[in-house]
Amino acid sequence: IAENNHYQATRLLQMLRQIQSRYHYIPEAAIEQLAGLLNIPRTQIISVVEFYSFFHLSPRGQYELLISDSITDHMLGKKNLLGYLADKLAVAVGQVREDGVVSLDNTSCTGMCDQGPAGLVNGYALTRLDRSKIDKIAELINQQKPLEEWPSELFQVDDNILKSGLLLDQQFEQGAALKSALKRGVKETLAEIDKSGLRGRGGAGFKTAMKWQFCSEEQQTERYVVCNADEGEPGTFKDRVLLNSYADQVFEGMTVCAAIIGAKQGFLYLRGEYLHLYDKLQDILEQRRRNGVLGNNIQDAGVDFDIEICLGAGAYICGEESALIESLEGKAGIPRNRPPYPVTQGYLGKPTVVNNVETFLAAAGIAVNGGDWFANIGTEKSKGTKILSISGDCTRPGIYEYPFGVTVQTILNDCGADDVLGVQIGGPSGTFISNQEFDRKLAFEDLATGGSFIIFNASRNILDMVHNFTHFFAHESCGFCTPCRVGTSLLQKQVDKIVEGHGSAGDVVALEELCQLVKNYSHCGLGQTAANPILTTLQRYPDLYQSRLKEISYEPGFDLDGALETARRMANRDDAGAHLAQTQMESEHE
């Protein structure tokens, strides 16, 4: 494995993926050997293994089943299905079966919210799980059938493109974008991208032309292009579709970027959950090399550029661009201090452009059609269209493309959503809007979004969503900085307490204070947005929180009376006087 990866420590993640897939864990002996071969400390390898949730230091089952814990999966009955699956396979959640054949656990959103409940088996996506599919899966596992022999319908992943527009309708020949860019001139093409008003589609909305310009102006000869395909935001799955059906155009956008900034190497950082796309994408890259639109001297124009695919390993934080670069370098995905930004010091300390899949797709279209093609659509500050991943309570979940400025109500009408209570826009880190706000617009001026659009109807309890999102952030915090590491776990505990009906008015006040602390003092976007689900729902539905509270001003976070059980047993007493009544606790607190 090390030899195939040219003994490059930057490829550590890829090597660990291969070891994990072969042995179902990372054995100590492999760590020792790798440390020697790559000339890096074994502790460094262990810290990487411990960081990513798809790597394990102890054996997992030959069949590793992970079931998505996204809120949309829960809305589709995931909890009951997981229990059914555990019974069928005779394995507890979080455990490996005694015979070592199968292990079962939860995982964060797998990017299949339009076709859940979803899961992964040895990294490959399982969709639309129901009892009959689970019966089949249990049977196949008990027979120890190799995955290649499993029925293909278990792995069927649909694009579900239900509304196309500027980007999804575009078709052009392989190589056309670079050809147009070179014909026009790379500087002139950058000017067209500037004119188009294209802003990064990951959510932050930084101007793409400006990013490319900054990178090209750096006094370095080595530069890199990175496509961020680590869409881990629950409710987001559009990049999955773009890479399945528009990969050529995405690679084309990366190549145009490379020609403009002068990069020779690009990376597609593909989230580990999209393993099912890996071979197909490799084939497309190979075909592009054969057709002279990738590799050396592309289109005989003296442009050298190639793209490598790197698979992630189950860490949401790697969607943050500096964490992604760390991961690409074979390290734990801990966000860097910024500045310096990747455009000046990115991959291996060299100037690097990191853009989202959709951004590169748009850039390719602009290179072919010119800036006005894009700028004529959208709003004043949000040009072009936005591709949305729509899921939750609607009859037609899937991919929708709209000009920026579309109202939430229009989208709800199109996807068949009735009796809607609210919509979570932009995933857990985004904003929850209530049914009083459906005239609001998707645009950087109003509701900025990376594309996740989760609908909740009136039968849903918003606190279930808050509970799910708060657990998600506590699980995904990288642990680097204290406000987020400790704060997200305290938020989770506090929300649990309130949701479970043990909270008091004082707990809500404390929760709000904690939210502000985590938001204001965390190192990166994850921590800074982790409190959003609480803050946006507290603001809109204060009564909902109040309705779960007890009629006391404070209740301790643990069972005080239960804690005295040992003392009661030792004293051989169990009369009323040996118990702490709630009323006593209240008066003592007052």
Binding residues (CB under 6 A) for ligand SF4: these are 317, 335, 477-481, 484-485, 522-524, 526-527
Instruction: State the maximum Cα–Cα separation within the chain, in Å, rounded to a whole number.
Output: 92
Taking the complex as a whole, the smallest distance from the CB of residue 14 to ligand SF4 amounts, in Å, to: 23
Of the pair 186, 481, the CB lying nearest ligand SF4 is at 481
Cβ partners under 8 Å of residue 409, min gap 6: 438, 439
Taking the complex as a whole, the smallest distance from the CB of residue 200 to ligand SF4 amounts, in Å, to: 19
Q: Is the CA virtual torsion 426, 121, 314, 353 positive or negative?
A: negative
Of the pair 238, 485, the CB lying nearest ligand SF4 is at 485
Taking the complex as a whole, the smallest distance from the CB of residue 273 to ligand SF4 amounts, in Å, to: 19
Of the pair 476, 555, the CB lying nearest ligand SF4 is at 476
Of the pair 481, 531, the CB lying nearest ligand SF4 is at 481
Of the pair 121, 323, the CB lying nearest ligand SF4 is at 323
Taking the complex as a whole, the smallest distance from the CB of residue 353 to ligand SF4 amounts, in Å, to: 22
User: In the numeric block, which tokens belong to residue 544?
Assistant: 């909902």
* Cβ atoms 247, 268 nearer than 8 A: no
Q: How far is CA 89 from CA 48, 83, 130, in A?
A: 31, 10, 15
Of the pair 81, 484, the CB lying nearest ligand SF4 is at 484
Taking the complex as a whole, the smallest distance from the CB of residue 269 to ligand SF4 amounts, in Å, to: 17
Of the pair 289, 475, the CB lying nearest ligand SF4 is at 475
Of the pair 249, 322, the CB lying nearest ligand SF4 is at 322
Taking the complex as a whole, the smallest distance from the CB of residue 78 to ligand SF4 amounts, in Å, to: 25
User: In the numeric block, which tokens belong to residue 243?
Assistant: 């890479």
Taking the complex as a whole, the smallest distance from the CB of residue 488 to ligand SF4 amounts, in Å, to: 7
Q: How far is CA 372 from CA 86, 202, 366, 464, 475, in A?
A: 55, 22, 8, 45, 44
Distance, in Å, from the CA atom of 5 to the CA atom of 19, rounded to the nearest integer, reads 12
Residue 124, helix vs strand vs coil: strand
Taking the complex as a whole, the smallest distance from the CB of residue 320 to ligand SF4 amounts, in Å, to: 7
Of the pair 251, 480, the CB lying nearest ligand SF4 is at 480
Of the pair 125, 530, the CB lying nearest ligand SF4 is at 530
Distance, in Å, from the CA atom of 548 to the CA atom of 498, rounded to the nearest integer, reads 6
Residue with tokens 């249990």: 138
User: In the numeric block, which tokens belong to residue 49?
Assistant: 């293994």
According to the 3-state scheme, what is the secondary structure of 300-350?
CCCEEEEEEEEECCCCHHHHCHHHHHHHHCCCCCCCCCCCCCCCCCCHHHC
Taking the complex as a whole, the smallest distance from the CB of residue 332 to ligand SF4 amounts, in Å, to: 10
Taking the complex as a whole, the smallest distance from the CB of residue 543 to ligand SF4 amounts, in Å, to: 31
Taking the complex as a whole, the smallest distance from the CB of residue 429 to ligand SF4 amounts, in Å, to: 11
94 phi and psi angles, rounded to 5 deg: 90, 0
Q: Measured in whole angstroms, how far is the alpha carbon of residue 490 from the centre of its chain?
A: 22
Q: How far is CA 246 from CA 93, 179, 200, 221, 243, in A?
A: 37, 18, 18, 31, 6
First to last CA, the chain: 65
Q: Which of 320, 288, 322, 327 is nearest to 305 (CA)?
A: 288
* Cβ atoms 5, 44 nearer than 8 A: no
Of the pair 213, 429, the CB lying nearest ligand SF4 is at 429
User: In the numeric block, which tokens belong to residue 360?
Assistant: 């590169």
Of the pair 455, 526, the CB lying nearest ligand SF4 is at 526
Taking the complex as a whole, the smallest distance from the CB of residue 498 to ligand SF4 amounts, in Å, to: 23
Q: Which of 100, 63, 70 is nearest to 85 (CA)?
A: 63
Residue 542, helix vs strand vs coil: helix
Residue 482, helix vs strand vs coil: helix
Q: Which of 18, 458, 335 is nearest to 30 (CA)?
A: 18
Cβ partners under 8 Å of residue 586, min gap 6: 552, 553
Of the pair 467, 523, the CB lying nearest ligand SF4 is at 523
Hey, which bits of 317-408 come out as E strands?
Answer: 352-356, 385-392, 398-403
Q: Which residues pair with 96 in a beta bridge?
A: 103
Taking the complex as a whole, the smallest distance from the CB of residue 523 to ligand SF4 amounts, in Å, to: 4
Distance, in Å, from the CA atom of 57 to the CA atom of 51, rounded to the nearest integer, reads 11
Of the pair 315, 353, the CB lying nearest ligand SF4 is at 315
Taking the complex as a whole, the smallest distance from the CB of residue 275 to ligand SF4 amounts, in Å, to: 24
User: In the numeric block, which tokens belong to residue 425?
Assistant: 């826009």
